[in-house]
Structure 1
Amino acid sequence: MIAFAVLIFVFLGSVEGFSTSYQQCTYDTTKMCKPALFTAVFSTVSFILGAITSIISGFLGMKIATYTNARTTLEARKGVGKAFIVAFCSGAVMGFLLAANDLFVLYITINVFKIYYGDDWEGLFEAITGYGLGGSSMTLFGRVGGGIYTKAADVGADLVGKVERNIPENDPRNPAVNI
């Protein structure tokens, strides 16, 4: 995360040669926009905030999913319909919570950045784009890590069935086998 933040700062700051002087806005040539160096700083901060928000959202989502699995299993004893309702409601809660968390942090970030940028909408929008990039990059790393973890768990479960229970390869009695 820090390496990407440094790259964002270097690339965006070097657009105008790490300039701290005001420049003409592209959308309105009568106005002066904020320096590129400060936009690079705000974009980097926005990237880090997006990444942290994504990590927190992923953590909360996994906590909710873990608790939900136990509750859904208990409700499945009473019937499929009750288990479905518990799973569906918890999925809706998780979805709304994560979206609300991201929107809340984004709203605060925009309002804090707007104190500096004022009427410079171009600079504000450029600085805020780092938020989405940070959230997306952490989500991608989470998916890759989750896939690796899942594959390792599948291989481990398959080996336990083979070694400890002497179950042959691809036997349906082994719960880790995908048929």
Structure 2
Amino acid sequence: MGIFAILIFLFLGSVKGFSTKSQPCHYSKDKTCKPALANAIFSTIAFVLGAVTSLFSGFLGIKIATYANARTTLEARKGVGKAFITAFRSGAVMGFLLAASGLLVLYIAITLIGIYYGDVWEGLFEAITGYGLGGSSMALFGHVGGGIYTKAVDVGADLVGKVERNIPEDDNNKSSCKNSLT
């Protein structure tokens, strides 16, 4: 995350040579936009804020999903209907909570960064793009890492099944698997 933040700062700052002087805006020549260095700083801050929000949302989502799975398992003993309701409600809580936390942080970021930019929004749009990029990149790394972890677990379980339980390769007979595990 830190390396990407530094790259964003360097790329955005170097667009106008790390200029500290205001320049005419692209969309309106009669307005003056903030310096390129300010755009780079705010975009980098927004990137880090988006990344931290994404990491926090992922952590919170995993915690909620873990507790929800345990509760759904307990409710499944009482019936499929109660388990479905528990799973559905906990999924709704997780979805609304994660979306609301992301929107709340985005609203605060827009408000605070908007104070600096005032009515000239060109730099504000760049900063908000940085927020989205930070959130998306951390979510991407989470998916890649989760896929690698899942594959490692799958290979480990496959080896245990073959070595310790003598399950043959590509055994599709469910009853032999069931009997060998009990």
Shorter-chain TM-score above 0.5: yes
- Which residue of 2 is the match for residue 81 of structure 1? 81
Match of 1:24 in 2: 24
Q: Determine whether 1:159 maps to 2:159.
A: yes
Mean Cα deviation higher: 81-90 or 155-164? 155-164
Contact 1:117 1:123 in 2 (8 A): yes
**What does residue range 86-105 of structure 1 map to in structure 2 within 5 Å?**
86-105=86-105
Q: Distance in 2 between matches of 1:3 and 1:110?
A: 24
Cα RMSD for the two superposed structures: 1.2
Amino acid at match of 1:157: A
In structure 2, C-alpha distance between the alignment counterparts of 1:90 and 1:121, rounded to whole Å: 39
**TM-score when normalising by structure 2:** 0.92
Match of 1:11 in 2: 11
Are the aligned partners of 1:39 and 1:126 in contact in 2 as well (CA < 8 Å)?
A: yes
Alpha carbons of 1:133 and 1:40: their partners in 2 closer, same or farther (altered >3 Å)?
A: same
Decide whether the 8 Å contact of 1:5 with 1:47 is kept in 2: yes
Q: Which amino acid aligns with 1:59?
A: F
Aligned position for 2:111: 111
What is the 5 A alignment of 1:32-111? 32-111=32-111
Aligned residues with identical type, % of pairs: 75
Letter in 1 for 2:35: P
> One-letter code of the match for 2:45?
V
**Superposition deviation, residue 170 in structure 1:** 2.5
Distance 1:7 1:118 in 2: 27
Deviations 1:96-124, CA, capped at 9 Å, x for gaps: 01000100000111111011111111111
1-structure distance, mates of 2:74, 2:42: 48
**CA–CA separation in structure 2 for the residues paired with 1:26 and 1:66:** 49
Deviation sequence 1:68-118 (CA, Å, 0-9, x none): 111111111111111111111111111001000100000111111011111
